[in-house]
Amino acid sequence: MSSELEYLKSLVAQLNEKIKVLEAKITPSPVEQLRTILMGPPGAGKGTQAPLIRDKFCVCHLATGDMLREQVEQKTKLGLQAKKIMDEGGLVPDDVMVGMIKGELENNQKCKNGFVLDGFPRTVPQAQKLDSMLDSRGEHLDSVVQLLIDDSLLISRITGRLIHPASGRTYHREFNPPKKPMTDDVTGEPLIQRSDDNVETLQRRLKTYHSQTGPVAEYYKAKGLWHGIDAAQSPSVVWDNLRGVFRSN
């Protein structure tokens, strides 16, 4: 009986040790915690890379456009405030957007190891307000990554883009077509082409992006946080470059 008990104890000890090893592999250490901003024009690949960053580093993906829509739908205090402003044709104030981000950092358990911020900041005052909010929490950015790509290539990418509205999954008629035309591979639901995914609208959006984002990039370059990555490469190469940036921080 005693030998059997000893055997079981040793087995439990081995199992506990194995559990520790496995937990260490899937639970990020403090070194792997990450607070980063992903910048880039529409179609540069933020929607492809941000979920990879989220899953690899176990951080939250804060896409400010999605956050804003969600807050409006849930009729939160900030959402109601933003809806009133948008209904009147105004732009949502920076303080409201920073407040939404702060709310996620405080209340979203997925943000405990950090975040990848997508779609904000778009101006230097927004970047300054974001810095102030993070300072108040005793946090700081680790990096700011800008996906760099030629406008002409972007236009060919975006005009062929197809989207599954419910999940945000994206396809491309030429580069990444769905298995069945205009049908989501996972759910079988219809895909759509966004109404603003046309050449004229895209050229206007790119002009706005460049005029706003140039100063933001310079702001973060001065802080030593900015990294540029060639987004014309294949998504897997872009991902390898991203991981290289995060390892070097």
The C-alpha atoms of residue 114 and residue 61 are separated, in whole angstroms, by 9
Q: Check the annotation: does 122 bind a ligand.
A: yes
Q: Check the annotation: does 120 bind a ligand.
A: yes
Q: Check the annotation: does 18 bind a ligand.
A: no
Q: Is the pLDDT assigned to residue 5 strictly greater than 70? A: no
The C-alpha atoms of residue 166 and residue 201 are separated, in whole angstroms, by 23
Strand pairing report for 143-148 and 34-39: parallel
Per-residue pLDDT tens for 199-239? 888 888 888 889 988 999 999 999 999 999 999 998 999 99
AA letter at 125 = P
Q: Check the annotation: does 233 bind a ligand.
A: yes
Which pLDDT belongs to residue 71? Answer: 84
Average pLDDT, the chain: 87
Residues serving a catalytic function are: 46, 122, 161, 194, 205
CA atoms within 13 A on the CB side of 180: 9
Give me the residue label for tokens 């897997």.
236
**Residue 29 binned pLDDT confidence (cut-offs 50, 70, 90):** very low
Q: Judge whether 28 and 113 are in contact, CB under 8 Å.
A: yes
β-sheet bridge partners, residue 159: none
DSSP codes joined into one string, the chain = -HHHHHHHHHHHHHHHHHHHHHHHHHSPPGGG-EEEEEE--TTSSHHHHHHHHHHHHT-EEEEHHHHHHHHHHHT-HHHHHHHHHHHTTPPPPHHHHHHHHHHHHHH-GGGTTEEEEES---SHHHHHHHHHHHHHTT----EEEEEE--HHHHHHHHTTEEE-TTT--EEETTTB--SBTTB-TTT-PBPB--TT-SHHHHHHHHHHHHHHHHHHHHHHHHTT-EEEEETTS-HHHHHHHHHHHHHH-
Least confident of 88-92, 183-187, 226-230: 88-92
Task: Catalogue all structural domains in the chain, each as residue range(s) with its CATH number.
Answer: 32-152+214-247 (3.40.50.300)
**Residue 114 binned pLDDT confidence (cut-offs 50, 70, 90):** very high
Q: Check the annotation: does 64 bind a ligand.
A: yes
Q: Is the pLDDT assigned to residue 44 strictly greater than 80? A: yes
Nearest to 60 by CA among 120, 18, 116, 126: 116
The C-alpha atoms of residue 144 and residue 78 are separated, in whole angstroms, by 26
Which pLDDT belongs to residue 83? Answer: 84
Which pLDDT belongs to residue 159? Answer: 82
Q: Check the annotation: does 30 bind a ligand.
A: no
Residues of the chain above pLDDT 70, percent: 91
Per-residue pLDDT tens for 131-172? 999 999 999 999 999 999 999 888 887 788 899 998 888 888
Q: Check the annotation: does 194 bind a ligand.
A: yes
Q: Is the pLDDT assigned to residue 2 strictly greater than 70? A: no
Give me the residue label for tokens 């055997």.
7
